[in-house]
Amino acid sequence: LGHDAFVGVVSRLDAAVSGIVVFAKTQRSAARLCDQFRDRTVEKLYQAIVTGRFPAAIGAWLEWTDSLERPPGPKPTMIVSPATKEAQEATTRARVMVRAGEVSLVELAPLTGRRHQLRAQLGSRGCPIVGDRLYGSRLPFPIPGGIALHATQIAFEHPHHGTPLTFKSPCPEPWMDRFPYLFLEN
């Protein structure tokens, strides 16, 4: 890289989460992409394998709007009363795609981007993400240090010419090896 090289991280994932992350090659591109994230025009999709009974029929979309509070340190993000001083609104659309025994494959479309948003929302509803001990999962995950949450798709406009762009990433092979019955139809 030259002395004026630039690589900017525009999106982020928790360390335990896999999937798509967006980078920019110029400061101008990074600023324009950050504007799209701030204006909530970026469309994000995740898949998660959860335990417990997901609170909807297969294929039915739910929309959750919660108030989240992020305590200091490694403590979990909590769902709190909207009147809580430091609370931030978090909205997610969710649906179960496949159920099999004690686990389900769930698709998630966060409309906001709060820290641990999907993890806290699923855990608080009694269906924590596989491997996510912080939010109540008792079922281990096949990838050390990981959880069964994957950023599968992201769509936004090109930062310079406005062309719609969509990027996809299939779930990791270890998911399919450990839970093959969840991926027969997908």
Looking at every residue in the chain, the average pLDDT score rounds to 92
Taking a C-beta distance cutoff of 8 angstroms, is the pair 31, 38 a contact? no
Q: What angle do CA 67, 148, 94 make, to 5 degrees?
A: 45
Say how far apart CA 68 and CA 38 lie, in whole Å.
18
- First vs last C-alpha separation in the chain: 40
Q: Is 24 helix (H, G, I), strand (E, B) or coil?
A: strand
Task: Give me the residues paired with residue 151 across strands.
Answer: 19, 46
pLDDT digits (tens, 9 = 90+) for 79-135: 999 889 889 999 999 999 999 989 999 999 999 989 899 999 999 999 999 999 999
**So which residues are the catalytic ones?**
14
DSSP state of 99: E
Res 169: pLDDT: 97
pLDDT at 2: 60
Share of residues in the chain with pLDDT > 70 (%): 97
Taking each continuous run of H as one helix and of E as one strand, the counts in the chain are 3, 10
The pair of structure tokens assigned to 170 is: 């299939």
Q: Is the pLDDT of residue 36 over 90?
A: yes
Q: Do residues 42 and 106 make contact, with C-beta atoms less than 8 angstroms apart? A: no
Higher pLDDT, 142 or 151: 151
What tokens appear for 113 in the block?
Answer: 């981007």
R_g (Cα) of the chain, nearest Å:
17
**What six digits make up the tokens of 41?**
């025009």
Contact criterion met (CB below 8 Å) for 77 and 69: yes
